[in-house]
Amino acid sequence: MKQYTPYAIEQFGKHIFGDVEAFNWLIENNHRELIAVLDAIRDDKKAFKFLIDNKYFELAAFVNSIWDDTKAFHFLIERKAFDWAACSNIINGDDKAEQALKAAGKAHFASLAHAILGRIHEDGDRNTSPMGVLKNMFNFKKAFEK
C-alpha cells in the first residue's frame, strides 16, 4: 500500500475543490491515483478501473466504503488502511472517527473527508437543480442513441 505524506493528502483535498496548482502537484509528484479516487467517487467507471488495474486496491475499497459498502470497509481494516477507513467513516457520519484521526495526529485525513463530503453534496445539489436535471435528461437520451 502506497503511503502518502500529509502534504500529499492536503493537495488532494485542495484538488477536490478545483485547485489547479494542487492538481498539477499531484500529477508532477506521481499521485495520479488520488485524482482517480475523486473521479471514481463521482461514478467514473474508467477511474475506478484505473485504481484496480494499477493495484490501488485500498483506494478502490475506500471509494466503495464511502458508499456504505461494508465489505470494502472491512477490506480496509484487514489491510491496515486505518486512515482511509476512518476517513470513509467520517464521510458516513461517524464523529468518533474524526476525533480518533485528530488524536492520532492525522487531521489531514479528517480535512480530506470533509472536502470529499462537501464535493458529494455540491455534486448532488448540481444534479437536482433545474439545469442539472435538464443536463442529465440529455445525457440519458445520448446513452440510448448509440
Q: What is the pLDDT of residues 8-17, one digit of tens each?
A: 999 999 999 9
SS3 labels along the chain: CCCCCHHHHHHHHHHHCCCHHHHHHHHHCCCHHHHHHHHHHCCCHHHHHHHHHCCCHHHHHHHHHHCCCHHHHHHHHHCCCHHHHHHHHHHCCCHHHHHHHHHCCCHHHHHHHHHHHHHHHHHHHHHHCHHHHHHHHHHHHHHHHC
pLDDT per residue as tens digits for the range 18-68: 999 999 999 999 999 999 999 999 999 999 999 999 999 999 999 999 998
Contact (CB, 8 A) for 110 and 87: yes
pLDDT reported for residue 126: 56
Q: What is the mean pLDDT of the chain?
A: 88
Model-level pTM? 0.83
| CA gap 108, 10 in Å, rounded | 6
| CA gap 75, 145 in Å, rounded | 39
For residue 111, name the pLDDT band (cuts at 50, 70, 90). very high
Residue 4, sorted as left (phi over 0), alpha (psi -120 to 50) or beta, turns out to be beta
Give the start-to-end residue ranges of the domains of the chain.
6-139
DSSP character for 145?
A: H
Judge residue 57's burial from the number of C-beta atoms within 10 Å of its C-beta, 0-12 exposed, 13-18 middle, 19 or more buried: middle
> Residue 133: is its pLDDT beyond 90?
no
